[in-house]
Amino acid sequence: MSEEDERRLTQADSDINEKEEEEHLEKDGAVAEANEEGQESIQAGVTEEGEQQQEAAAAATTTTTMSPEHTLLLQVLRRAKRQQDLITQIQKSLKTLASIEKSIGKATEQVRLLQSAIRDSQRQITQIQHQVAALEKAQAKGFQKIAKQKRVAVGGGGMKRASSATTKRKKRGMSKRK
């Protein structure tokens, strides 16, 4: 090979290297733009509500050739968002369960109080029934006394008869003369 051939080869190599560097820089610029768009879409996807909007943003960023690291990062962010939503739902459920537990505790306490009140009222009812029975008995005795006093007052004309042995026998139905 001659020097001129070597010079041409070196020139061609340098031209090829320059073209490769230009292409590489263009690719780096495109990748940088895609990365910026990807980061913006990731941030927008995290802040936006709804998984459909996030998936649309992810589809737009994946079409702009995102790097595998960015794709993984996007997936991780989605998972983190879902986990955060689940955690908030679980916390809400725990709060409702705690309030339900409190209300159940209050209800059981009220049931206990009502049961003791029922027992007390049943005791009072039995006491009242005993008192009523005692009053009825006393009242019956009082009526008997009054009836006896009326009989004596009507039959005797206000005076008591002298009780003798013969009157007692007559009342019994016995007489001496048989």
Instruction: Give the pLDDT of residue 27.
Output: 62
pLDDT in tens, 87-113: 999 999 999 999 999 999 999 999 999
pTM greater than the 0.75 cutoff: no
CA–CA dist 145, 23 (Å, integer): 133
User: Is the CB of residue 31 less than 8 Å from the CB of residue 67?
Assistant: yes
The model's pLDDT over 21-70, given as tens digits with 9 standing for 90+, comes to: 776 666 666 555 655 655 555 554 445 445 656 666 655 555 567 788 88
How far apart, in Å, are the Cα atoms of 103 and each of 98, 109, 125, 142? Answer: 9, 10, 32, 57
Residue 48 has a pLDDT of: 47
Per-residue pLDDT band for 128 (boundaries 50, 70, 90) equals very high
User: How high is the mean pLDDT of the chain?
Assistant: 78
State the pLDDT at residue 135.
96
DSSP labels, 53-65: HHHHHHHHHHHT-
Domain ranges of the chain: 1-66, 75-139
Among residues of the chain, what percentage have pLDDT more than 90? 39
Q: Which residue has the higher pLDDT, 16 or 148?
A: 148
pLDDT of 162 strictly over 60:
no
